[in-house]
A and B are shown apart, each in its own frame.
Chain A
Amino acid sequence: TQLLEQSPQFLSIQEGENLTVYCNSSSVFSSLQWYRQEPGEGPVLLVTVVTGGEVKKLKRLTFQFGDARKDSSLHITAAQPGDTGLYLCAGLHQGAQKLVFGQGTRLTINP
């Protein structure tokens, strides 16, 4: 059972466009993390969101945690080829110590 559903699974857009990736669940999480993974490497942490409604910005990336702490979104403005990669969301349940990962969104930015 996939507790975290990411959409879309694949996204290919042109350089300069904007995009949003979604991470949804029926479960409440105490925190949610976003990772980016490049081919042949392990995932690298981008951000952790903890408070419902929280918004964090990392340069051209904007992360939002849903008010009910069940969902999250990642918005990229003016995408660049260097943004290409697999984006993974991962949730931590209250009282738990292990992250549950979504299946990922594979993003390709074409020059």
Chain B
Amino acid sequence: EAGVAQSPRYKIIEKRQSVAFWCNPISGHATLYWYQQILGQGPKLLIQFQNNGVVDDSQLPKDRFSAERLKGVDSTLKIQPAKLEDSAVYLCASSLVRPGGYTFGSGTRLTVV
């Protein structure tokens, strides 16, 4: 089966600019997650969707981050305006409703300068 697709793979922006990331999960996976992985750390959950509804966004910095999952399939994560500390890899993952395991995309490496 096709994996989780993410784009772009790399992005370099200046602070205060905006950026958007895209994710296409595995077909049939109802649950979609966005994780932030700062260099040297484990992934931290930003937001979790089940179909097109938000299940958990408690760790999403809502003053600058937003995410949507229209039609319960693809998802976009946006940062506006970006800060230097947003430099990280942004990972998208998907799973069945009762996960036996997540399937991760390759991530988008964001560098804010």
Number of interface residues of B (CB under 8 A): 27
Minimum C-beta distance from B88 to chain A (A): 13
Stretch of B13-21, B41-49, B63-71, B76-84 lying at the A interface: B41-49
Give Cα A88 to B42, complex, Å: 7
Assuming the contacts A42-B105, A44-B104, asked whether A98 and B93 have C-beta atoms less than 8 A apart, the reply is no
Residue with the greatest number of chain A CB neighbours at <10 A, chosen from B4, B45, B101: B101
Chain A contacts for B41, CB-based, 8 A: 103-104
Q: Which residues of A contact B91 (CB under 8 A)?
A: 42-43
Does the CB pair B43–A98 fall under 8 Å?
Answer: no
Nearest A residue to B100 via CB reads A48
B89 to chain A, nearest CB (A): 8
Chief secondary structure at chain A's binding surface: strand
| Binary contact readout B90-103 vs A (1 if CB under 8 angstroms, 0 otherwise) | 01010000111111
With an 8 Å Cβ cutoff, the count of chain A residues facing the other chain is 22
Q: Which among A97, A100, A102, A104 is the interface contact of B55 at CB below 8 angstroms? A: A97
Would B48 and A42 count as touching, CB distance under 8 A? no
State A43–B102 Cα separation when bound (angstroms): 9
Tell yes or no: B25 within 8 A of A by CB. Answer: no
| A99 partner residues in chain B, CB cutoff 8 A | 45, 99, 102
Bound-state CA distance A106–B71 (Å) is 38
**CB neighbours of A11 from chain B (8 A):** none
A33 proximity list for chain B (CB < 8 A): 101-102
Chain A, 93-111, contact with B by CB distance < 8 Å: what is the 0/1 string? Answer: 0000111111110000000
By beta carbon, the residue of chain A nearest B43 is: A101
Interface residues, chain B, with chain A CB atoms under 8 Å away:
4, 31, 33, 35, 40-45, 48, 50, 55-56, 91, 93, 98-107, 109
Known: A45-B103, A101-B44, A104-B40. 18 other contacts (CB 8 A): A4-B42, A33-B102, A40-B107, A40-B109, A41-B107, A42-B93, A42-B104, A43-B43, A44-B104, A45-B102, A88-B42, A90-B42, A97-B48, A97-B50, A98-B33, A98-B45, A101-B35, A101-B43
